[in-house]
Amino acid sequence: MMKFSYFPGCTLKTRGAALDRCGRAAAEALGFALEELPEWQCCGAVYPNARDEIATRLSSVRALMAARDAGTELVTLCSACHHVIKRVNGDIRRDEDIRAKVNNYLKPEAPYAGEAEALHYLEVLRDRVGFDAVKQKVAAPLAGMKIGAYYGCLLLRPSKELAFDDPENPSVMEDLIRALGAEPVVYAMRNECCGGYVTIENPDYAKKQAQRIVDNAKALGAECLITACPLCMYNLRANTDGSLPVYYFTELLAKALGVDGEEAKQA
Amino acid sequence: MIDMMEQITRIAGVNPRKCMRCGKCSGACPAYDEMEYHPHQFVSMVENGRIDELMRSKGIYTCLSCFACVERCPRSVEPAKLIEAVRCAVERQQGMDRLRPEAVPGLLNPDLPQQAITSAFRKYRK
Ligand code: SF4
Ligand code: SF4
């Protein structure tokens, strides 16, 4: 069985529990194991843009090192964790100054030089499992559902660093939607920012951004949206008129695979 | 002592002099109307050392950190990093945090994800 180290992140243990629960149940059904890192720390939710910040990069490095030492790739489900951890890994690989300072602080037995690979769960589905294999495991196809994939910012940009998908015309979630037997709705705002970061300090501004996305997806025929980000999820629900249901992509995945994730919740 | 402009470019780790003023960053920016200095202007003001004005601008808080400008820039200027660097320069001053822990309980609601609070602290407090 394929094995991965798994970094759930702060929100998946609490408000975003459905993203985690369904993701684990689906992994089991698809035949890969997510082994939660024994001692992970919150990634900080925001990539430290300032090049002179070292402390804010350490939790990502610790997680990456643990995955390296376990000999596995490091998988995340949350867009923000994925964004932060993958970019910090890139910093360690490319930026000698950051690498030296981080190693000087952590003093690991084996210095960390970016050996681990950070993957988003969607990349595992696409590149390790394959959508054909996903399709074969679908027990309850989502026939007739018109689903808009909402990518937002963090999964895609900057594409040079994240190398996740085409930043202007992504397809991984549309391919997933097809594999689940539903119909993807391509709409213009799927890779535009929902304004999630300003929801605390400027909710009116966040509302404006989020509503534009919902309106555009509806106009193109979407009946619901899927996302991989708990902050987008909140923003698209709480800061809009609520006219489009929003789900985590793992919720629909688990549903189509016939595993609703309830067992995982009790475990 | 190194001047403010030098500090900003060091924090950001990018070089505003590479900018060719094509405006693609501003064209892509979802916060364009909310920033009194649009991304391409912001870059040029850093280049010209107009850091004080930028430090007083509300755009350092209305930039959404969406990286659309970074994605679009053909010259790898990465405007978002310059904006973040100016915000850092403001918040790293004594007593200049944008968000204080005492204010947090009043901002919470039962549905708000932890990520919203964590990210606000990362952005608004140094
Ligand atoms: S990161 Fe900020 S400046 Fe750049 S496009 Fe997004 S909102 Fe505009
Ligand atoms: S896209 Fe890049 S080169 Fe063009 S104006 Fe913006 S910062 Fe300058």
- As a whole number of angstroms, the distance between CA A69 and CA A37 comes to 11
Of B30, B78, B123, the CB nearest to A193: B30
In order, the DSSP letters of B52-92 are HHHHT-THHHH-----HHHHH-TT---HHHHHHHHHHHHHT
pLDDT of A265 higher than 60: no
Q: Which atom of ligand 2 is nearest to the CA of B39?
A: 6
A152: nearest CA partner in chain B: B66
Confidence of residue A10 (pLDDT cuts 50, 70, 90): confident
Q: How many domains does chain B have?
A: 1
- Confidence (pLDDT) at B106: 75
pLDDT of A266 higher than 60: no
User: What are chain A's domains?
Assistant: 2-121 (1.20.1050), 132-265 (3.40.50.11810)
Q: How far is the CA of B17 from the centre of ligand 2 (A)?
A: 10
Q: How many CA atoms lie within 13 A of B104 on its CB side?
A: 13
Q: CB of A90 within 8 Å of any CB in chain B?
A: no
The predicted model scores a pTM of: 0.94
Q: How close A83 comes to chain B (CA, Å)?
A: 11
DSSP assignment letter at A80: H
Q: How far is the CA of B112 from the centre of ligand 2 (A)?
A: 35
- As a whole number of angstroms, the distance between CA B112 and CA A259 comes to 27
Structural domain range at position B33: 4-124
- Confidence (pLDDT) at A77: 97
CATH of the domain at B63: 1.10.1060.10
